[in-house]
Amino acid sequence: THSTLKMKIRTERYLIGIQYVGTHYSGWAFNNEAKLPSIVSIIEEAFKKYVGRRGNFSNLIGSSRTDAGVHALRNTIHVDISRQLTSSSAEDTFNNFFDTNALKQGLNYFLHTKHSHIYITDVQNVPQSFHARYDAVSRTYLYRIMCPVNHNSLNCSNLALFHTDRSYILRYPIDLNIMRNASNCLIGEMDFS
């Protein structure tokens, strides 16, 4: 006798926190003309390897974009993952596939085999209606400007190595009074929409 298996498809949406050092990337978005890979292309590659032939992923959307060389202490994405259950004996494996810890560990495994500058910080289930960009409550940007002690030296040897690609390094003296007066327009709550 031939028995027909009833196919069961399950789709889950996840909110995923990521951090990255953007020095070696063309920015968040894919760019055909860029010589460096984009952050999103590397994350998609990790998803393809993690999900593999066991399922599908779609709707990978970032909460914000970063330019080339820009780092993220925490950015977020949402993504849908679908999988088809083909037999009742595979139920446990099916459920583990959607486990948030397994997803985080699996993605980090594939990210770190090739790209150690991108890291998944956290994964959580969210409703299908959730949107990483439009449901974001806030965005915070941090701009680091380093002022070398010796302005006559262009090599900035008095700065720690850690700061060289994570800060804008001034190579000339600045007038702090002018900067304080100019920065007054930045204080307060702004709506840039």
Catalytic annotation present for 191: no
Active-site residue, from 67, 99, 122, 165: 67
Q: How many CB atoms lie within 10 A of CB 73?
A: 10
* Rounded Cα distance, 129 and 39, in Å: 25
Q: How far is CA 120 from CA 49, 85, 181, in A?
A: 15, 27, 40
Q: How far is CA 62 from CA 41, 81, 99, 132, in A?
A: 12, 15, 21, 6
> Would you please indicate which residues are annotated as catalytic (active-site) residues?
67
